[in-house]
Amino acid sequence: MCDLLTADDTALIDLSIGLEDGPPSEPMPPSIDAFGHEVGAERLAQNLRALGHDIDASDFPEGMGLAWEDLEVIPHAGTHLDAPWHYGPEVDGEPAKTIEEIPLEWCRGNAVVLDFRWMAPGAEISVADLEAALDELGHNLSPGEIVLIQTGADELWGTPDYLTQFPGMGGEGTKYLVERGVNVIGTDAYGFDKPFTAMGERYVESGDEAELWPAHVAGREVEYCQIEKMANLDALPRKTDIPIVAFPIKIENGSAGWVRPVAFIESAGRGADV
């Protein structure tokens, strides 16, 4: 992987969705208030005058200061990595890790893509489904590998259907992967579990609390992180042995942190895709 990090012919494939202002695919969308360079000059001049310096916006070169943005956003918007603390206060009786406590070693390694685009929206990915997908690849999981669940939902980004049209992981399937040494599991869907509507319908029909966020709740028994709202898994040239890095931003006592997963792919004569 060291050669891939610096090789000129390595293709970098961005597997993330960024933060956008008010997209319909987010139930709690970010709000981004952008300030241009002229407004930046006014604001910087105000700051300097507050410090006792007689400076106007017109004093800046070409009357322009620095552009920036004010954001109001939750850490679960855009592509992000959920920490064990998101699932519950403890994992198997031990304090759950918050996002700044996640070992960086968990967030880099070789990824395996399991393709469930054939499954119906709202369906639950079972242990049998996972085993069948691994058998189809002829792949045995190794400790430290990162598993990516491909649903195809990222093609719906920007529409309300993104929130409902995908299969999701179940509790037993989640534990199956973690018990084989997987610390990080990603998905290209809005959520790791089934869509909210599917879980709600199942709970109302059965009255069984196990129908509510079973994959997340599995994190109270087995320690793992999940990456939600990934993208571009179809751009990867293979399904196994994909070197990726996915380091989350540190937020004090945070339940999640924004992340930009990037795959490193050998590609002679090809430039970066990010």
Residues 225 and 184 in one domain: yes
pLDDT at 270: 45
Whether 24 is in a domain gets the answer no
Residues 60 and 190 in one domain: no
Owning domain of residue 155: 2-19+75-266
Residues 46 and 104 in one domain: no
Number of domains in the chain: 2
**CATH number of the domain to which 148 belongs:** 3.50.30.50
Whether 178 is in a domain gets the answer yes
Whether 51 is in a domain gets the answer yes
Residues 46 and 169 in one domain: no
Whether 197 is in a domain gets the answer yes
Whether 271 is in a domain gets the answer no
Residues 137 and 88 in one domain: yes
Can you name the residues that pair with 35 across neighbouring β-strands? 68
Residues 242 and 260 in one domain: yes
Residues 47 and 170 in one domain: no
pLDDT at 156: 97
Residues 12 and 60 in one domain: no
Residues 92 and 217 in one domain: yes
SS3 content of the chain, % helix, strand, coil (to 5): 30, 25, 45
pLDDT at 274: 38
Please choose, from the candidates 273, 256, 225, 238, the residue with its C-alpha nearest in 3D space to the C-alpha of residue 108.
225
Distance (Å, whole) CA 155 – CA 178: 28
Per-residue pLDDT of the chain (274 residues; tens, 9 = 90+): 557 766 777 999 999 999 999 999 999 999 999 999 999 999 999 999 999 999 999 999 999 999 999 999 999 999 999 999 999 999 999 999 999 999 999 999 999 999 999 999 999 999 999 999 999 999 999 999 999 999 999 999 999 999 999 999 999 999 999 999 999 999 999 999 999 999 999 999 999 999 999 999 999 999 999 999 999 999 999 999 999 999 999 999 999 999 999 999 986 544 434 3
Residues 205 and 92 in one domain: yes
Distance (Å, whole) CA 189 – CA 193: 9
Residues 234 and 165 in one domain: yes
The one-letter code for the residue type at 57 is A
Residues 39 and 169 in one domain: no
Distance (Å, whole) CA 244 – CA 186: 12
Q: What is the pTM of this model?
A: 0.92
